Structure 1
Amino acid sequence: MNAYDTGAGTERTFAALPPARGRGFAQTWWGRAWLTALEGTALDSGQLKAGRRLARAGAVGAVSVRPGRVTAVVQDPDRTTHRADVLLQELSGEQWDRFLDMTAERAGHVAALLDREMPTHLVEDAELAGVELLPGLGDLEPECDCGAWDHCGHTAALCYQLARLLDQDPFVLLLLRGRGERALLDALQSRGDASAGRPAPGPGGVDAAEAYAAGDILPSLPGPPSLPAGPGVPPSLDTEAAPAAGVDPPALEFLAARTAARAHRLLEEALRGEPDAHAVEPSVAWDAVRLAAGEPDPAVTARLAEGSGRGREGLAVAVRAWRQGGRAALSVLDEEWTVRGDALARARAALATAWEEDERPALRARANHWTAVGAPLQLRLSRDGRWWPYRRERGRWVPAGDPARDPATALASAEAAAGA
């Protein structure tokens, strides 16, 4: 993304993007939310289609973004040009103060922004602080010199193009709301410095991690332990004595080896300071699949297939899902849920913009499954907004590739797997 600042970070100009044929305009959930605000407001769906055609053809010139306004010159098929503007209300000073205070208190929010990410919990926390970052229905106000009073093809094309920019850099949205990246990061830094100088807490004590990080405690604390080169070797159960009734030595050896490997991985994450924030206690259902993915001997696999209630073929499919994406992929395999409200609106927007109208496949929807009509292909929507490709093999739906934010990309991977 080629961009340059003008002024003191108050305006950014992005070079014209290449045509977007064969792909969706928004890959991220916040990019799709931007398009939902557009598509839920425009009164003429024909103008939206015209805007998509113009944006796909590369008819939108350089895009200028500044507080409250985004501007570009859009060229019609007959080569006439029009200046298109889309306005979005800036946040007030008080709202910015609340947003900055909230963000500075959560290191994860700052890290996400620096990684050019806008996670849902950041937006939700901002809403709890009374700050709406993403536009809602009616918030995107169009202005165009073609004379249209509502969204026309030119302003719609600009919005579709901006969704692509938002995918790459959510600071574009924050600039529209009134703060450039440099000013925003400086404000967060100053708040962090002020927090670092706050008075020591009272008798309630301090957090252990905070005390350890301070480095001024006497006597000094030892450094963290070093990570072993690999997991420990579990003891061998191959003895001359016969095992007790109900004891399966190969199965115990396999479980001990898997436990040692998992303990080593958890220690590595802890020493890196990156423990799994979403870790939960394993259930019997998915722990059996996790163990089977370790390729135990056939006898252990048979016991896992029986104990999980999946049978041999069902366990093989579940292991394929596990290797594709762990517990999240297994949930997509097993769980069928009804898509409602905002999730349904985002899903429909993603499906509507992922393909050209004449390229869009016929999909039959049931719950969170969209099945291709006349083809053994299926898309499954997970609760985090990703599309998982599936294909039908020997009467079963099986995972067919990595998930994607864009349904066209996910379906293409299922088609490629089917043709392999």
Structure 2
Amino acid sequence: MTPAKGSAKDPGRARTFPPLPPARGSRAPFATSWWGQEWLRALEDSALDHGRLQRGRTYARGGAVGEVTVAPGLLRAHVHGSRPRPYRSSVEVAQLTDSQWNRLLDMIAERAANIAALLDGEMPAGLAEDAAAAGVPLLPGPRDLDPDCSCPDWGYPCKHAAALCYQVARLLDQDPFVLLLIRGRDERQVVDELARRNAARAAADAARPSAAATTGLTAPANTPAKDAFAARADLPPLPALPVAPDHPGRGPALAGMTTSPPGLDLAALELLAADAAQRARRLLLSALDDRHAETTPPVDLTPWQDTVRMAAAHPDTDVLARPATAAGATPARLAAAVSAWHQGGAPALDVLESSWTPPSARLDHVRAALREDWADGTPPRLRAWRNRLTIDGKDAQLRLGQTGLWYPYRKKDGTWWPSGLPDTDPSVVLAALLQG
């Protein structure tokens, strides 16, 4: 590992975060906040090994990263891999110099909106652009990360250190001040220094005579609005966006009514109201997201796909038995479809229920790569049929989706069932599948 960047690490200011649960859904964004997504963008735009970054993302999404310790210039965590004992992974991050911190704090103190937000315990997204304009990069660049791990993989980074880097994006979702700690100073240090500079600036402003006092001029009456706006001082920040509800609103309780209009299924209507509340909350969260304009609009679902979606979202109801039966689905088929939906929505359901024929050379290449990557003894026979690779003697199967993702399947009672999250790398999917 290369020598540590920046000043010496300060364990006294370290913070330790408990392990995060596995991220649900392979197609859901890995990070939801602006800071988390920008950390991922900076990470994936770096010169690090992109193949291992993808594997690390899968490890982090699957809950392989233990508790994470963040200290100035250092990230540490135990990451579970293919062996029983977890690996010790760390990433050193270049800290900002004292000169850079002074420029950054001066820049913040000059902007009323930024200083007000930070003193209120918030990290405005515009701070990153303002800092970059002042020559202080808050987000890491290609040479700012130095990964290390106890595993035998010499990749730069290995997939375990990459998983640690990805997990930091989810920590930034919870608390973006983690980024300042990584760069060398914790929230308390930054806020205290800003409060001191803000007080000094206010005292200097109070001691300085106003323009009206020195010139004897005051603003004339009937000043045009455009002139008043052009001459404005720093305006206060806009009010914060409304806080999204933690849970969807509770729908009407209809099923307990003693009377109902003839032909109206009150339990079904109650379910539709609850589902509408869930979808409305997701739309609100999307509208409040900084990248709302980039959000992909929802696709139209077939009646069967929508039945599966609702069964996945409302597992405690039996109202959907009728539409499932009308679609020719047995309870077992509906259960398998719900499991596939949890893998990745409509594309994953299509992988369960249909097959297609990819180029044979592609499957041949994947089979050869999997055999070369086999760790324990002689690799088993890998039988290919259309978009499916079956591992003889392992009750395991990989299925290639139309979007390029490989989906894990396991045989139970003679039937293939979805078993885990998909990935673009079939070796990652197979390793997770064989580890159970």
Which category describes the TM-score, using the shorter chain as reference length? Answer: 0.3 to 0.5
TM-score, length basis structure 2: 0.46
TM-score, length basis structure 1: 0.48
